[in-house]
Amino acid sequence: MAERTAELSALATRLEGEVAERRAAEEHLRQAQAGLVQAGKMAALGQMSAALSHEFNQPLAATRNFADNALVLLDRGRTDEARGSIARILGMIDRMTAISRTLRSFARKPGQKLAAVDLAEAVAGASEIAGLALRTAGAELVVSLPPGLPPVVAGPVRLQQVLVNLLTNAADAVEGAADRRIHLDAVATGAGVRITVRDHGPGVAPALAERIFDPFFSTKEVGKGLGLGLSISYNIIKDFGGTLTVGAAAGGGAVFTVELRSAEAGSEAA
């Protein structure tokens, strides 16, 4: 009996020791994780600051140059040319305004309301807004939405913003291409709806596929693309609990796929 008691008390001591050890390990892990989150935030902030100062410095330097020029031209009475310089300054200011307006979309309030959104309505709104870009590129939008699609979990304005972005990118991609059709399709999947926007442009090279969702990544000429559309779209869809991916379409061109959750009772997660 005494032996058994001693055995039990030894076991209890050992267990206590193990519990204390595990607690210490957990605390250590928690601290390490907090450190990583902090490091990640600093890295993101650093990346953002570098990108921002790059984006603003170039138009700022150019603006200064044109303003200097305008002064010299005015002193010499060459008002017409001075007017040209001032017009370019205005162009630069517009560009900086566009950048700062787009940046505001990054200041998303987490937990913004999500609703049950009718995809057909979102598509109709988006194709209207993207209409000018589509016509300018000579693109033909072919929409195919099967009847009976369930409503999706989204914010109506933000979903439209994503679709407009995908459509205008596709319009840019097919400009000057032989086949300028852009296909917007949707199908019901088990848990939600899959939307694809497919074009017949040059496509996205596999090496670039990862980077196109990065802020300020753009292959378009200065003044045409800010490189923010896809990174904003990616985050919006993530907020909806969905995914946005890019792939190569069979037969050439890019295909962007948006997966959204169904808002119908039973299929909605959280």
Residues that bind ligand ADP (CB under 6 A): 165, 169-170, 173, 199, 201-204, 212, 217-220, 225-231, 254
Measured from the CB of residue 198, what is the shortest distance to ligand ADP in angstroms?
Answer: 9
Count of helix runs (H) and strand runs (E) in the chain: 7, 7
- Cα 44 from Cα 230, distance rounded (Å): 17
Measured from the CB of residue 215, what is the shortest distance to ligand ADP in angstroms?
Answer: 8
Q: Which residue's CB is nearer to ligand ADP, number 234 or number 240?
A: 234
Q: Which residue's CB is nearer to ligand ADP, number 119 or number 139?
A: 139
Q: Which residue's CB is nearer to ligand ADP, number 161 or number 231?
A: 231
Residue of 202, 224, 55 lying closest to 133 (CA atoms)? 224
Measured from the CB of residue 248, what is the shortest distance to ligand ADP in angstroms?
Answer: 10
Element holding 86 (H helix, E strand) = helix 79-104
Give first-to-last CA distance, the chain, whole Å.
Answer: 56
Residue of 242, 243, 246, 256 lying closest to 182 (CA atoms)? 256
Measured from the CB of residue 169, what is the shortest distance to ligand ADP in angstroms?
Answer: 3
Q: Which residue's CB is nearer to ligand ADP, number 73 or number 166?
A: 166
Upper half-sphere CA count for residue 222 (Cβ side, 13 Å): 11
